[in-house]
Structure 1
Amino acid sequence: MNGDLSNLRKEYLKSGIDKDELDIDPIKQFSIWFDQAMQAGLIEPSAMSLATADNEIGIRTVLLKFFDEKGFVFFTNYDSKKSIQIEKRQQGAILFPWLALERQVRIIGNIEKITKNESLKYFQSRPRDSQIGAWASKQSSKIDSRDVLVDQFASMKKKFENKDIPLPDFWGGYRLVPNSIEFWQGRENRLHDRIIYERENDGWNTSRLSP
């Protein structure tokens, strides 16, 4: 087995970033890039890597469910490993790897729980089986086999048969409130474009970074 990837190379030629053409609001600029990712037909454009840490570092892929001027929201089990890390250290980073567009967006900030009403509104919009899945899975806990998970799902499905499914008290949303947002565009000869927005008081400072 040869694990040498030193000759695996690709030039990035699709586009560039003109700082003067970017929106002064990074959330609006993110929305522009997200729409372009959607229009390009990327697989799961809302998928983002979420990094958290306490005594150790954790990273996993989650789905962005909505964003606005307040931040970027995802949902999870509040007893999961990621939630435990978030409760100990309310900071994190998310990364959108839109590789087909030769783009990345990196966002760093503080993480906070959203309100129960916000979580309920989203929970009720989920397919019924996804609602049941939230009740069935004790996220991040060890199980002997997949059969255990399937049995738990079947048990919960029977429990809530012909009933509205309530929001679990151990499940809901988090919002990452950005302190910095970086837009990365691959360029030829590894001279990539990197534009970072950094929060200052009630506004944003914008800078170009060396690749």
Structure 2
Amino acid sequence: MSVKDLSELRQNYGKGSLQVHDLSADPLTQFLKWLDQALQAQVAEPYAMTLATADGDGRPHARTVLLRGADPTGFYFYSNYDSQKGLDLAANPYAELLFFWPALEQQVRIHGPVERISKQESTEYYHKRPRDSQIAAHVSTPQSGIIESRELLEQRFADLNQQLEHATAIDKPEFWGGYCLKPAYYEFWQGRPNRLHDRLKYIPDTLSDTGWRIERLMP
């Protein structure tokens, strides 16, 4: 199938609409409402989000990661600090998150500055992870680095698993931990017929009781 043939597969969205009066005055409350709807609808990977970063030269990189928490401070995810995302955030500590729930014809964009969370918070979360995931964090470094084969990666995992067989706890690697994106912008998108999609954004507003102002965007 050629690219031009894909025009025949366009979806005419029509599962919902989005008006200003539909939205909570607080964007985090609105996000959690939509996330709960995604969970109730049993959409695949509701916590999956695209994380977009840029390096010191402005070259963009995007990948899918999992949301691991959201509160009034921000949105949390975890990674290897030596990964591409970690290097990007060290050089340019600003990022965007994109949640897309196609079954609901909804997406949410959120961007803002990113900071590492404390070592204590990262350690507490690390020890909540499955044991195999804790080991994987140790052996899959440098993340995004070159490795000769899949077999070598699996052997590294098996070797460390055996070494730690009787360990009561596995130390968090120094190169692994959490990040918090502190929202400076939210955009809620609802698919609509004829590509006249609903797009409503929240931007900071010191004159508002909630600290945010809602504006409608052209589709």
TM > 0.5 between the two? yes
Gaps of 5+ in 2: none
Q: Could you say what the CA RMSD is over the residues aligned between the two structures, in angstroms?
A: 1.1
Q: Given residue 95 of structure 2, which amino acid in structure 1 is its aligned partner?
A: G
SS in 2 for 1:6: helix
| Deviations, residues 93-136 of structure 1 (Å, cap 9, x unaligned) | 01001111000000011111011111111111111001111011
1:204 aligns with 2:212: yes
The equivalent of 1:33 in structure 2 is 34
The match for 1:165 among 170, 174, 198 is 170
The match for 1:181 among 173, 181, 186 is 186
Q: Given residue 80 of structure 1, which amino acid in structure 2 is its aligned partner?
A: S
Give the TM-score, by structure 1 length: 0.97
Aligned partners of 2:193 and 2:177: how far apart in 1? Answer: 42
Aligned residue pairs: how many? Answer: 211
Give the TM-score, by structure 2 length: 0.93
Q: Given residue 156 of structure 2, which amino acid in structure 1 is its aligned partner?
A: Q
SS in 2 for 1:20: helix
The equivalent of 2:3 in structure 1 is 3
Shift of 1:159: 2.2
Gaps of 5+ in 1: none
1:109 aligns with 2:112: yes
Q: Given residue 205 of structure 1, which amino acid in structure 2 is its aligned partner?
A: R
Aligned partners of 2:176 and 2:205: how far apart in 1? Answer: 33
SS in 2 for 1:181: strand
| Deviations, residues 46-74 of structure 1 (Å, cap 9, x unaligned) | 00000000221100000000000111100
> Which stretch shows the higher mean deviation, 148-157 or 70-79?
148-157
The equivalent of 2:50 in structure 1 is 49
1:153 aligns with 2:168: no
Aligned partners of 2:24 and 2:3: how far apart in 1? Answer: 42
Q: Given residue 149 of structure 1, which amino acid in structure 2 is its aligned partner?
A: L
Q: Given residue 159 of structure 2, which amino acid in structure 1 is its aligned partner?
A: S
Shift of 1:21: 2.4
Aligned partners of 1:115 and 1:159: how far apart in 2? Answer: 28
Shift of 1:6: 2.2
Q: Given residue 36 of structure 2, which amino acid in structure 1 is its aligned partner?
A: D
Listed as ranges, the matches of 1:58-207 within 5 Å are 58-138=61-141, 139-163=143-167, 164-201=169-206, 203-207=211-215
Aligned partners of 1:190 and 1:28: how far apart in 2? Answer: 27
Identical-residue share of aligned pairs (%) = 49
